[in-house]
């Protein structure tokens, strides 16, 4: 049984029922905290304990793009022609991956920019720095 004390930054936990994925972005580090224990701290979804991901393709890997993770620095390199909303002013801008959607395609990828703006992109619209 996994508790918050066992979780490490960067690990991804998956619900065996619905497939939702959660990535650890800050470790607990409070092992003596009264709420950190096998009975008090269970990571649950759909009435089932979430499991540590054993892999699978990271974001972009299926499309031939480089794998991306939350916290990675990226540059906007192109925009798809078939998108209803294209943000051409973002081409060339650099930002940080703030969120990656769950599911088999793992997109959209939300990028946060230094000026506080955020936008969603497809994996092929971004390159890792």
pTM of the model: 0.48
Residue of 1, 31, 26, 33 lying closest to 11 (CA atoms):
26
pLDDT digit string (tens) for 42-77?
Answer: 778 888 888 877 655 444 444 434 577 888 899 988
Query: In the chain, which segments carry CATH 2.30.30?
Result: 73-128
pLDDT digit string (tens) for 4-40?
Answer: 777 777 778 887 777 788 888 877 765 556 666 556 6
**Those residues with Cβ within 8 angstroms of residue 29's Cβ, 6 or more apart along the chain or in another chain:** none
Assign domain 73-128 one CATH number from 3.10.20, 3.40.190, 2.20.130, 2.30.30: 2.30.30
Q: Are 99 and 68 in contact (CB under 8 A)?
A: no
């Amino acid at each position: 049984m996994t508790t918050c004390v066992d979780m490490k930054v960067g690990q991804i936990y998956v619900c065996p029922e619905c497939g939702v994925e959660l990535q650890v972005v800050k470790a607990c580090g409070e092992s003596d905290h009264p709420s950190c224990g096998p009975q008090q701290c269970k990571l649950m979804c759909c009435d089932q304990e979430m499991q540590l991901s054993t892999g699978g393709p990271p974001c972009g890997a299926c499309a031939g793009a480089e794998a991306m993770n939350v916290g990675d620095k990226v540059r906007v390199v192109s925009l798809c022609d078939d998108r209803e909303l294209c943000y051409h002013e973002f081409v060339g801008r650099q930002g940080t991956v703030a969120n990656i959607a769950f599911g088999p395609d793992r997109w959209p990828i939300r990028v946060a920019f230094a000026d506080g703006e955020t936008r969603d992109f497809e994996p092929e619209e971004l390159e890792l720095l």
